[in-house]
Structure formats: C-alpha cells, structure tokens
Structure 1
Amino acid sequence: MTEVPLDELGPVDYIVVEFPAGASSFTGEMAAELRALADSGTIRVIDVLILTKDADGTVEAAELSDIAELGELQAIEAELAELLAAEDVDNLAAAMEPGSTAGVLIWENLWATPFASAVRRSGGQLIANGRIPIQAIIASIEAEQVTTTAGD
C-alpha cells in the first residue's frame, strides 16, 4: 500500500463473507464490483485473504498473491498490505463452518477521509462504530409492514 500520512487516513473496515460448502458460485462479479469501488476512489483495498476451513476444522489462509488466477483483482493485488496476524486469522476463522471458504476484505473508506481528517484536526476521536446487518433491516421493515397491514 502506498504511504499515506496517518492524519489523512479514512476509516478502515473489514468484512468476512462465508461461502458454505457447495454453495459458492464464483463468476467474477464480486471481483469486478470490488475493482470498480477501488477504481472510482470510493475505497482503497488494504488486504484480502481467502480462508478455507476443512471438515476437521483446519484453517488455511491465502493472500491474493498466492492465487494464480486473479482476474479483476490483478490490478489491486500490488497495493495490498499484509495486515492480519496469524492470531487475527484464527479469530476470524472461528466463526466459519467446517468445509466452507471465506473471503476477508479490509479497506479504507476514501469517501470519508476528508471528514475523518477534520474530526482528528478538531481533537475528536472515534470511540464506537458498528454496522446493522441488512438482514436485520429487512426483518424490521417486514415486521413494520405486517403491523401496519394488521392495524388497517
């Protein structure tokens, strides 16, 4: 990853996306979307790992540079930093089901960099953050619709 002054970093997030055994259908669509986000300047990819968990619970981790056919990800591979330690990988893999594969993506939110820098220059610091899973939002909307319909 190119050198970025610490006071100019945007917020950094990560996700772990699991693909249960036999349920994955890798068409390249995810890689194309990730590449588009990076190319548009919305995010900077910091690290990508592919985790596989065998039926016996053994976990293997591969960096993008270890994968022969990168497709759309070839363009961002050179920008990656190996950020996660072995302990981090173990903690992330603990949530995986045996026989599954997971992708771990760590990115900087470039769209939020100006705001994050202004917060730091103003003496502020991030003390909490979170994310609401889309499944929870859908469930809440559906429950509200049922309540509204029942009340009519």
Structure 2
Amino acid sequence: MSEYELSELGPVDYLVIEFPEGHQNFTGEIAEELLNLVDAGTIRVIDAIILTKDEDGAVDAVELSDAGDLGPLVQLEAQLAELLAVEDVAHLANAMDPGSVAGVLVYENLWAAPFASAARRAGGQLIANGRIPIQAIIASLEADEELETTGA
C-alpha cells in the first residue's frame, strides 16, 4: 500500500468465528452476507483464513485463496493481502476447542474511513477501542429484566 492509501485507511478489525464440532452447518449464507458487505462498500476484506483444530490440538491454517472451491468468494481472492503471520494464527488457534473449525476475517471498515482520515489529519490518533459481544448485551438485558421482575 502506498503512503496515501495508508493515510486514507479506515479502522481495521478482525474477528474469529468458531464452529464447534457437531454444530457446523455451512450453507453458503455466510459467504453471501460477507459479499453483501463488500459490495455495499461497508467493508474491504484484507485477509481471511480457515482454521481447523483436530482432537489432538493440531491446527491447520488455510488461506481463503487456497481453500479450493470458493464459490462466490472467488471475487475476494485476488484482493487478499495475507496479513496474518504464523504467530497470529497460533495465538488465535489457542482459543479454539478441539474438533472445531474457525473463520478468521481481517477487514477495513470502509464506512468509517473518511471520519478516521479526518481525525488523523486533525492530529488525532486512536488510543482505545473495543467491542461488546452480543452475548454480553443479551446477558445484561436478561439481568435487567430479572431485576425488574423480582425486584431483587
């Protein structure tokens, strides 16, 4: 990437989605929704890998471009930067359960790029960010509802 492209880069995030053994139901819906985000200009996929962890804990990492029949994801293949290093893969795989498969996605938030660029031009720099997992939001709402119901 050129210096100009880097200065215009939006926030970059990653996510790891684990599919536990016995709960893997790949229908193509995930690929379709990912492509919808790309086509809408919401995100740009920077890297994507598939991790598998066998029952003995051995991990295999496959770049999306090496995953065989990509179906509709083939249009992303040429754009991938292969940003994740071996150490990154090992770190991410530590969180996986044996027998599971995980998708790892590194993406730029294109929707936020103009704001991020403006903040950098004004001398700002990101010093903290985070995400609230949906499971935590659900648990909080359920706890509030329980408190309202029981009064305790």
Q: Could you say which residue in structure 2 is the equivalent of 1:46?
A: 46
- Residue 123 (1) aligns with residue 123 (2): yes
Give TM-score scaled by structure 2 length: 0.95
Secondary structure, aligned partner of 2:126: coil
The CA distance in 1 between the partners of 2:61 and 2:86, in whole Å, is: 9
The CA distance in 2 between the partners of 1:139 and 1:38, in whole Å, is: 31
Q: Could you say which residue in structure 1 is the equivalent of 2:29?
A: 29
Task: Give the CA RMSD over aligned residues.
Answer: 1.2
Q: Any unmatched runs of 5+ in structure 1?
A: none
Q: Could you say which residue in structure 1 is the equivalent of 2:13?
A: 13
- Residue 146 (1) aligns with residue 118 (2): no
The CA distance in 2 between the partners of 1:111 and 1:131, in whole Å, is: 17
Q: Could you say which residue in structure 2 is the equivalent of 1:84?
A: 84
1:150 Cα deviation after fit: 2.5
Q: Could you say which residue in structure 1 is the equivalent of 2:133?
A: 133
Q: Any unmatched runs of 5+ in structure 2?
A: none
The CA distance in 1 between the partners of 2:141 and 2:40, in whole Å, is: 31
Aligned residues: 150
Q: Which runs of 4+ in 1 moved over 3 A?
A: none
1:149 Cα deviation after fit: 2.3
The CA distance in 2 between the partners of 1:18 and 1:118, in whole Å, is: 35
The CA distance in 2 between the partners of 1:22 and 1:140, in whole Å, is: 29
The CA distance in 2 between the partners of 1:5 and 1:65, in whole Å, is: 24
Q: Could you say which residue in structure 1 is the equivalent of 2:55?
A: 55
1:69 Cα deviation after fit: 1.2
